[in-house]
Amino acid sequence: MNRFWGRFSKNKSAVFGLIILFLVILMAVIANWIYPDDPFRLAGKPMSSPGTNGFLLGSDTLGRDVAAGIAHGAKTSILIGLLATIAAVFIGIIFGALAGYYGGVIDDALMRVTEIFQTIPSFVFAILLVAIMKPSIEIIVIAITVVSWPAVARLVRGEFMSLKNREFVQACHTLGMNDSRIMMREILPNCLSPVIVIGSLMVATAILIESGLAFLGLGDPNIMSWGFQIGAGRTMLRSAWWVCTFPGIAILITVLAINLVGEGLNDAFNPRLRERN
């Protein structure tokens, strides 16, 4: 663990990403204290430019505080990103583990299903799922999960296929361990590092999908999000550029930070890969 941290902390951009990510999470946590009021509430004079009328980042046509929206939107993005990723990793591990461990017909059947989900244009599919059911935070998480799990399934399948014939697994068989225990307690811990890397990068993708859905008007109408702010602000792009600009910068910084951390994790888990370049 210490060696791992030592390798990670040598990578300057990864540490930079971690600091930014920490600040975004901090903003999400303290959003309720610094902006205790509902971010949808009319907070003052509409269309105030940044720095005027007590608005740090300006207000929109309805007089909503852009900065308050960004602080509360951070909660939404982080929450949806994490929940969808955890669910997708869970499903992907189950599919990948079963397919890779048993092989044969089970592998064929499960991989066919995975292939179909990988063929479908994922963002259009997410739009369709949210449009058919009602836009709520649960449905958005489900939609992002449904389009994200196949990548994990493929990865885990490959790892299981290469690990299942190793000596330590054969030893488990001789000891009379049952399959589920071998899969979950013996093989899975050995392929966690690539799963953690792909999972961290998936949080970034999930945040991008969520903001895209909210921008198209498919967000939860009761919850403030960055994509919603940009979608609501686009009609007055001409007169109030700040309403769209700042939430977009928030998305950019957050996604960038997560990507940097993900790459840092990857390099720290595979030190030889890094030296080669």
Partner 1 sequence: MSRSTQILRYIIRRLFQAVPIVLAIIVLNFFLLNMAEGDAVDVLAGEAGSATPEYMAELRAKFGLDQPLPVQLLVYLKNIISLDLGYSFRHDMPVSVLIVDRFWPTLLLMVSTIILAVLFGILLGLLAAINLNTWKDAVISVFALITYATPLFWVGLMMIVVFSINLRWFPTSGMENIAAFYEGFDRFVDITHHLVLPTITLSLFYLALYTRLMRASMLEQYGQDYVVTARAKGLPERRITFGHVLRNALLPVVTMAGVQVGALIGGSVIVESVFAWPGLGMLAFESLFARDLNLLLGIFLISSVLVVVVNLIVDVIYCFLDPRIEVS
Site residues (vs partner 1, CB under 8 A): 112, 115-116, 119-125, 127-129, 131-133, 204, 208, 211-212, 215-218, 227, 230-231, 234, 237-238, 241, 244-245, 248, 251-252, 255-256, 259-260, 276-277
- Minimum CB separation of residue 100 from partner 1 in Å reads 22
How many C-beta atoms lie closer than 10 Å to residue 37's C-beta? 12
Q: Which is nearer to partner 1, 160 or 233 (CB)?
A: 233
Q: Judged by CB, which is closer to partner 1: 96, or 135?
A: 135
Closest approach, Cβ 90 to partner 1, in A, equals 22
Nearest approach, Cβ of residue 217 and partner 1 (Å): 7
Residue closer to partner 1 by CB (options 19, 184) is 19
Cα 49 to the center of its chain, rounded Å: 32
Which lies closer to partner 1 via its Cβ, residue 16 or residue 40? Answer: 16
Q: What minimum distance in Å lies between the beta carbon of 12 and partner 1?
A: 12
CB 151 within 8 A of CB 203: no
